[in-house]
Amino acid sequence: MSLLARPLRAAVCTVLVLSGCVTAGPAAAGEPACAHGRALRYVVTFDRGTTEAAARAEIGGACGATTVYYPQIAVAVATSGDPGFGARIGLDRAFSAQAERLAAQRATEVKPQPTRATLPATDRAKVPAADLSARQWDMRMINASRSRRGSDGRRDVVVGVLDSGIDPDHPDLSDALDRADSAGCLTGAPDRSPAAWAPTTSVHGTHVAGIIAAAADGRGVTGVAPGVRVASVKVIDDRGYADPEAAVCGLMWAASRHLRLTNSSFFVNPWTLSCIRGNDRGVVHEVLARAVEHSTSAGTLNVAAATNEAVDLTPSARSGSAGAGSGCEALPAGLRDVVAVSAVGADRMKAGYSSYGLGVIDITAPGGETGECVLSTVPGGYAPLCGTSMAAPHVTGVLALLASAAPDARPRQLRRTLEAQATAMPCPADYDLTGDGLQDAYCAGYEGYNGFYGHGMVTVPPVAAPGGRPDPAR
């Protein structure tokens, strides 16, 4: 699954619901005869500079229909009911996560089942009012308590939470939610209607948003950066998938709305692990790399979770001959300009599930381990979840504080400040989590920068005193 939270150690059955059929009329002279079938979504790359008219014409000529075209990065989202659409465009340019999952289901004879569960509407009066800050060990670990004597963030700093939707009625989040900058991206094109960006079956996005910006109101939990706002950008569907077209849409939407930060607590992949192979790597990597590059140039810094597969993401560790693509790459965490976050437990040791890798992991943060997870907001109340999904928003929250203090800072400036203020963490001398005498993972690097913790533990900066210098009393 693409969600990076680990509330239980249980197998999850993935399912797919494919909707809609398309029909085609008789082919015109010189045009291919289009087959009739289920309408599947594709991401399609074009040469940079390709006009929208040219892109639509090529997609139409290959028996497809254009949903949206992003001329800034020359990427389109298209639908087609013709199984030959991808081959006509070129398998090195077109990819469908839906088709990939459908093929896997046919191979394993797994029948898709509809998702029926829906989240109940939050009753503000019934959300527990008790102060739960004593259970927020994660905030103490990153020194977030330093900033509790005043407003932590500015309301003009907006964080795009690219996730499964944020509960608009939760009392710890309702004032922080930026409805105007929220959108649903499941089709690959932004939809600003509340129904498109609100959560339906998943608590995940609400939990992530609470870690970033839950109100400092003396009740429930408090986020890293109360005072900043969060936009619900829904990219994860009801089955837990974040398809490439949804992620591209989310990143492009954040750039178009001039959001300072995004948080991606998911990996883009139709498979069960963060390992992508062959031409699929080329297309999926390329569309996301273009979207991240564009959003960074537009002033948005992107933060992403490293995934929960305990995979070594070190580039040199990817095996296989040239072109075989048999290694693992976490997307979007593994992309240049993305801040990739690993997770630690309450013991400050890399969590067993957290992926890692020298040259990939930039920083670490609390994600929790079984029995001591991270407490945050969920529709109707509060709940603990574990995962790199929970680690990433701690980093995003700290960056939101840095952006509040430096309104004109560009993404790379914020990133350098984040890394400089991190608390260095050396590789552990012994990483035998199971006690069987064998190392469960190998940490490469040195104290200031290594594959487990990157530049170290994220740290909330000291609150500035009236004269502009950090106040040592805080």
Q: Is residue 28 very low, low, confident or very high in pLDDT (cuts 50, 70, 90)?
A: low
Q: How far is CA 151 from the centre of its chain?
A: 27
Q: How do residues 46-102 score in pLDDT, each as one tens digit?
A: 999 999 999 999 999 999 999 999 999 999 999 999 999 999 999 999 999 999 888
Q: What is residue 320's predicted lDDT score, i.e. its pLDDT?
A: 41
Answer whether residue 25 shows pLDDT above 50.
no
Q: How do residues 233-284 score in pLDDT, each as one tens digit?
A: 999 999 999 999 999 999 999 999 999 999 999 999 776 555 654 445 689 9
In 10 A of CB 370, how many CB atoms? 14
Q: What is residue 109's predicted lDDT score, i.e. its pLDDT?
A: 64
Domain boundary among 83, 108, 133: 108
CB contact at 8 A, 5 and 204: yes
Q: What is residue 289's predicted lDDT score, i.e. its pLDDT?
A: 97
How many angstroms separate the CA atoms of 407 and 154, rounded?
Answer: 9
In 10 A of CB 51, how many CB atoms? 12
The answer on 155 and 78 residing in a single domain is no
Q: How do residues 116-135 score in pLDDT, each as one tens digit?
A: 567 878 888 789 899 999 99
Residues annotated catalytic, as ranges: 163, 204, 389
Structural domains in the chain (count): 2
Q: Is residue 17 very low, low, confident or very high in pLDDT (cuts 50, 70, 90)?
A: very low
Domain boundary among 48, 81, 108: 108
Q: Is residue 116 part of a domain?
A: no
- The DSSP string of 161-173 is EEES---TT-TTT
Mean of pLDDT over the chain: 87
Q: How do residues 140-152 score in pLDDT, each as one tens digit?
A: 999 997 545 445 7
Residue carrying the six token digits 């790597």 = 281
Answer whether residue 18 shows pLDDT above 90.
no
Q: How do residues 313-334 score in pLDDT, each as one tens digit?
A: 998 544 443 333 336 889 999 9
The answer on 128 and 97 residing in a single domain is no
Q: Is residue 464 part of a domain?
A: no
Q: What is residue 118's predicted lDDT score, i.e. its pLDDT?
A: 79
Answer whether residue 413 shows pLDDT above 80.
yes
Q: Is residue 105 very low, low, confident or very high in pLDDT (cuts 50, 70, 90)?
A: confident
- Indicate the pairing of strand 183-184 with strand 229-234: parallel
Q: Is residue 106 very low, low, confident or very high in pLDDT (cuts 50, 70, 90)?
A: confident
Domain boundary among 40, 75, 108: 108
Q: Is residue 463 part of a domain?
A: no
Q: Which domain holds residue 157?
A: 124-450
Q: Is residue 153 part of a domain?
A: yes
Nearest-CA neighbor of 426 among 447, 412, 451, 457?
447
Three-state secondary structure call for residue 145: helix
CATH number of 274's domain: 3.40.50.200
Q: Is residue 73 part of a domain?
A: yes
The answer on 137 and 91 residing in a single domain is no
The answer on 200 and 81 residing in a single domain is no
In 10 A of CB 114, how many CB atoms? 7
The answer on 171 and 132 residing in a single domain is yes
CB contact at 8 A, 305 and 341: yes
Helix axes 388-405, 204-213, angle to 10 degrees: 40
Nearest-CA neighbor of 376 among 130, 118, 135?
135
The answer on 234 and 137 residing in a single domain is yes
How many angstroms separate the CA atoms of 433 and 274, rounded?
Answer: 22
The answer on 163 and 70 residing in a single domain is no
Answer whether residue 171 shows pLDDT above 50.
yes
Q: Strand order in 65-70's β-sheet? A: 65-70, 75-80, 40-45, 94-95
The answer on 406 and 300 residing in a single domain is yes
CA–CA–CA angle 276, 280, 283 (5° rounding): 120
Q: Is residue 401 very low, low, confident or very high in pLDDT (cuts 50, 70, 90)?
A: very high
Q: Is residue 461 part of a domain?
A: no
Q: What is residue 213's predicted lDDT score, i.e. its pLDDT?
A: 97
Answer whether residue 170 shows pLDDT above 50.
yes
Q: Is residue 2 part of a domain?
A: no
In 10 A of CB 325, how many CB atoms? 18
The answer on 251 and 133 residing in a single domain is yes
Q: Is residue 115 very low, low, confident or very high in pLDDT (cuts 50, 70, 90)?
A: low
The answer on 207 and 69 residing in a single domain is no
Q: Is residue 211 part of a domain?
A: yes
